[in-house]
Amino acid sequence: MIPVLHSERLTFRAWRESDLAPMAAFYADATMSRFVRGPMGKDDVWRRIALEIGHWALRGYGRWALEEKSTGEFVGWAGLWYPHGFPAREIGWGLVKAKQGNGYASEAAERARAYAYETLGWDTVASVIALDNTPSIKVAQRLGATREGDAEFAGMACAIYRHPSRANLASPSNAIP
């Protein structure tokens, strides 16, 4: 079962078939989807949603569909990701174009990290980001993550950004402003 979480402006919920239309629009745009193995057609996007649900079934955690609390609109996705062969357990996110630039990615990533640390008991987590994905790099840095190294995943050169450890976040002197 996928738990429902909340942050100030977002609801983190299980995936629904109604998410297909906004996800298909995201993945149809080559500029928007280039960092997440896009573009792809509607049939493959449906399979992508099934993959998200399957990750929850196999690992007991995963990425949530995000809704804007004030409107109920689909915003994108965020959460914890670690498929077979991936270089690190990670926090990942993706937002539909109309919802970018509102701080939702940082808000969602911070809430997902809190879930990893507080509920799952993880000590650390990373974000694996394509080298030219400047907006996501800025989100990771805003959350205190630092570049730890590089990796290749699915033919894409990526940087691994390590988030502050659970212990460092718990220390008032190391808290992120």
Q: Per-domain residue ranges for the chain? A: 5-174
Residues in the chain: 177
Q: pLDDT of the chain along its 177 residues, tens only?
A: 899 999 999 999 999 999 999 989 888 875 655 555 666 788 989 999 999 999 999 999 999 999 999 999 999 999 999 998 888 899 999 999 899 999 999 999 999 999 999 999 999 999 999 898 899 999 999 999 999 999 887 788 889 999 999 899 865 444 444
Query: Which fold does the domain 5-174 belong to in CATH?
Result: Aminopeptidase (3.40.630)
For the chain, helix (H) and strand (E) counts, in that order, are: 6, 8
Confidence (pLDDT) at 19 = 95
What does the block give as tokens for 173?
């002197």
Report the pLDDT value the prediction gives residue 156, as an integer from 0 to 100.
Answer: 80
pTM of the predicted protein model: 0.90
8-state DSSP, 110: H
* Spatial contact of 163 and 143, defined as CB atoms under 8 Å apart: yes
Q: What pLDDT score was predicted for residue 87?
A: 84
Report cis status (omega within 30 of 0) of the bond before 39.
yes
- Residue 160 dihedral angles phi and psi, to the nearest 5°: -100, 120
Q: What's the pLDDT at 63?
A: 97
Beta-ladder partners of 128: 160
Distance (Å, whole) CA 69 – CA 85: 35
- In the prediction, which pLDDT does 30 show? 57
Give me the sheet containing 5-6, strands edge to edge.
Answer: 5-6, 10-13, 63-68, 74-81, 90-95, 126-130, 156-162, 146-153
Other CB atoms closer than 10 Å to residue 123's CB: what's the count? Answer: 10
